[in-house]
């Protein structure tokens, strides 16, 4: 099922259309809980990691909402009551931007609580700049938001969240580990998106993002 991003299975879609209002939050919480469970497996209660778990939850929510901006017409035609379909692209973008801002603030707060070195902060700053770019595309773009533009914004967020994950890893495992994750995976994701997204997510008449 999907209310705010990702794929929808065919079975059960009609029956679940009325219950999609919390899907964005639920999808974000799944990733956040996976992070928290991994932290809890160390045997101690990692209170200082809770801001990171919160950052992951609201970040996924923001990314999922942006993903549905690209699918508005198809979701409306199919009867899927996503946030952009219910309230429009402008309010949905504002909610996504608010969630994203909370994610960056929580990540920075988590680093501050642990008194980490400058490298994780630098990676969070890079992620914030990338996120600002993604939302700038949506805020300043034409109305209604063209599907290729929404897809481009989401593609930036896909790269940005790798950098943000690198910051969290750098906070726990050291700067080298964070950079070894963020740099090569961001490059691989960029190349994969450049090759696959336009051909698989946009009809030929919509062009490339």
The answer to whether residue 137 sits within a structural domain is yes
Residue 16 has pLDDT above 70, yes or no: no
Q: DSSP H helical segments within the chain, as ranges? A: 13-16, 23-40, 50-70, 72-78, 83-87, 89-114, 118-140, 147-173, 175-201
**What separation, in Å, do the N-terminal and C-terminal C-alpha atoms of the chain show?**
26
Long-range contacts of 88-91 (CB under 8 A, 24+ apart): 89/138, 89/143, 89/144, 89/145, 90/143
The answer to whether residue 114 sits within a structural domain is yes
Which tens digit of pLDDT belongs to each residue from 19-38?
Answer: 455 566 666 667 767 777 76
The pLDDT-based confidence of 77 (bands split at 50, 70, 90) is confident
Q: Which two tokens stand for residue 135?
A: 């939302």
C-alpha torsion 21→26→28→34, nearest 10: 180
Q: Give the per-residue pLDDT at 173.
A: 87
How many domains, the chain? Answer: 1
Residue 136 has pLDDT above 80, yes or no: yes
Which tens digit of pLDDT belongs to each residue from 89-132?
Answer: 999 999 999 999 999 999 999 999 887 789 999 999 999 999 99
Q: Give the per-residue pLDDT at 24.
A: 60
Q: Are 100 and 59 in contact (CB under 8 A)?
A: yes
The answer to whether residue 47 sits within a structural domain is yes
d(CA 51, CA 33): 12
Contacts of 44 (CB under 8 A, 6+ apart): none
d(CA 111, CA 49): 9
The answer to whether residue 139 sits within a structural domain is yes
The answer to whether residue 146 sits within a structural domain is yes
The answer to whether residue 138 sits within a structural domain is yes
28 vs 167, which has greater pLDDT?
Answer: 167
The answer to whether residue 162 sits within a structural domain is yes
The pLDDT-based confidence of 15 (bands split at 50, 70, 90) is very low
Domain of 40? 19-206
The answer to whether residue 7 sits within a structural domain is no
pTM metric for this prediction = 0.80
């Amino acid at each position: 099922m999907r209310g705010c991003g990702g794929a929808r299975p065919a079975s059960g879609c009609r029956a679940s259309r009325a219950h999609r209002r919390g899907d964005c939050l639920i999808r974000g919480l799944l990733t956040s809980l996976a992070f928290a469970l991994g932290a809890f497996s160390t045997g101690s209660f990692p209170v200082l990691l809770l801001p990171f778990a919160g950052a992951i939850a609201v970040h996924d929510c923001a990314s999922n909402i942006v993903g549905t901006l690209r699918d508005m017409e198809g979701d409306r035609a199919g009867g899927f009551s996503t946030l952009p379909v219910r309230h429009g692209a402008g309010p949905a973008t504002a909610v996504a931007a608010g969630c994203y801002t909370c994610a960056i603030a929580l990540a920075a707060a988590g680093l501050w609580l642990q008194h980490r070195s400058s490298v994780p902060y630098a990676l969070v700053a890079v992620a914030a700049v990338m996120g600002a770019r993604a939302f700038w595309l949506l805020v300043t773009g034409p109305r209604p938001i063209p599907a290729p533009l929404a897809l481009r914004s989401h593609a930036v967020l896909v790269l940005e969240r790798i950098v943000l994950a690198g910051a969290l890893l750098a906070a726990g495992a050291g700067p080298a580990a964070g950079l070894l994750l963020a740099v090569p995976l961001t490059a691989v994701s960029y190349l994969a998106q450049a090759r696959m997204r336009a051909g698989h997510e946009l009809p030929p008449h919509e062009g490339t993002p």
